[in-house]
Structure 1
Amino acid sequence: MMAFFWQGTLFLSLAAAVSVYADMKLDCRPDFVTLVWTESRSQADTSLFRLGNCFPTSLSAREAVFSVDLNDCNFRRMVTGDQLMYTNDLTYISSPHSHIHPFTHPVVCAYERPKDWYPLIYDPVFNTYGQGDLVFHIGLMNGDFSSPAESTSFPLGSFIPVMASVAQKTHQPLLLLLEECVAATTPELQPESSIYPIITNKGCLVDSKISRSKFEPRPKSSEILLSLQAFRFALGEEVFIHCKLVAWDPTGLDNAHKACHYDKEFGWELLDNSAYNNLCDCCESSCKSRKTRSVASGKHGIVQNAVLGPLTITDLNS
């Protein structure tokens, strides 16, 4: 299987000025990938680079190196004609007050399609919502978030992998947040609906205080991954997860715009930067809304309601 070798200076369409400061070399092998990102800006923290959900395998003051298997790091596999393509994103997760803004760059490895390779057939639960020039998605995934789920039935105590994303055309890179999520037995919430709270209080994963639920590291700022432990609610019935998705300025995290989960050893933690865990302190009380910050060119944060399901939680002991 022949792999293409990609190497050269990076030209970022989202921030052309970045291209003169960085160089990326990508070596696509049959089973693994080596990516070397070289920075010339002294303010850049190479430990904040991610390839999909993978941390660098080695670091220096100017280089972030990834040597990873194609089955890891949330590489996406796609077949186009005679080519088998693996795609991913290199992201820089900047702190809120950094001079270097977060950014994302595509990573692509293309191979000759093996003659005996055929795609699996899925019937996924994956819903799409449009608002202006933004397109929101929310869906059930498999265990490593690499493909849509093959089943909508989850044993009690197992994990329900949920992925949400927002695709933008003209916006700067956006940060996707889950402001609220509740489970219910109906596809539409009614005042009398029986609900199970999952995320409340402007991004606090309250279910993580009583379970192993948690946010997973982001593949990129416009996606958010949730490992939700199947809960004892409406066992054997159809369950719908109702969420409020928020597309936000990635440099504008505050008490009301965040993603926090509870670690049994360390307490509340901020998904995007542990140095700012204090933004999660209000999860034990009330997180106040603040004035909406500009996302891009006079536009404001966009809120989208979404429904995921139906899915079923089963109790194997009953």
Structure 2
Amino acid sequence: GRDRDRGWDRDQDRGKEQGWSKSKDKDKDEDRETRTRTGTGTQGPWFAPGRRRTLRRRAAVSVTCGHAWLAVVVPAGFLGSRVASGELTLGSGCGVTTADGDGYWLKHLLVGCGTTLELLPDSIHYSNVLHYRPLAGGPVARARPFSLPVDCYYPRTGSVSSGAIQPTWVPFGSTVAHRRRLRFALDVYDSTWSSRLHQPTYSLGELINIEASLSTDPRLSLRVFVDECVASPSTAAWLEYKVIADNGCLLDGQLGRSRFLPQRGDRFLRFQLDTFLFPNASGSQIYLRCRLKAVAEGAGSTSGKACSYDPVAAAWHSHDGANCSCCGSPAGCGGRRRRRLTGSGGKRTPSVGSTSPTGGLPVPSGA
């Protein structure tokens, strides 16, 4: 019995050299590593993106915390013998992503592999576990399975509730609250769309080329739409004709050739109007007031659309596949209540209009 005990002690010493020990020594090592990581404070240290730290001194396993990912690096012979890539997993089963002669990389997204998130008073803590499960290779084992904690801490510098934070760009929520951050424009172009027209004059039978545009921070995913357009013989006339209504239905297309054109970008929307006159009006000029709005890309709502009427198919359609079924509905799109032409939030009402010679239909560039 004494020989067997002496042999067990020798195996223990050999095991420590290989990187494993009895549970008592393991607990001491974990306590020493925890004190080193936390120091005298109650929170973990800051780990800047790209900085590598060692999980355990004896294991020589390191972790790198990136902006949206973490990478665990395991040396090939960290237990004294070569480790197979299939024996290492991160969290819920994410395996090795890169392997070479020096070791193994397990690089995965912070939000994957079962990583948990904890919001601390002044930091964000991501935690996971690295698992080592040696494969069976015969009647004896050369290593024992274990698990190592993987932690990444990030400072909370982007809290929108802090008055001291000064973002480098205006968030979308603030953009909607301040209309002047969104710059809308409504311009009239010539027949080739090559130049803007400032005092255009048209004859009946011609098409009017109009472009609505939006200018704002390029990092905001917004699309411009024409919510409504109303034509009148003067700025104060009581006589009105709805050209576009119901959040983007070009109603004039049911009587003429008016239509929306395919968008050449999220910030531009072009449409054509068939010229017309008010027969009971004293003059020949037309004032066109349009309400433009910005809609978040991918909103999937019928409130943001550009629908034209196809007289051949007797149906409404949109070039971007938007739902135009409400354009032909008797109830309209969200009810046919009368709406004011003054914009609010992410909307604005540019207008175009000027005088013209008798017999022509003027639609000058505006906004």
- With normalisation by structure 1, the TM-score equals 0.49
What TM-score comes out, normalization by structure 2 length? Answer: 0.43
Larger % of strand: which? Answer: 1
Structure with a larger share of its residues in helix: 2
Larger Rg: 1 or 2? 2
Could you say which structure has the greater relative contact order, defined with CA pairs below 8 angstroms and 6 or more residues apart? 1
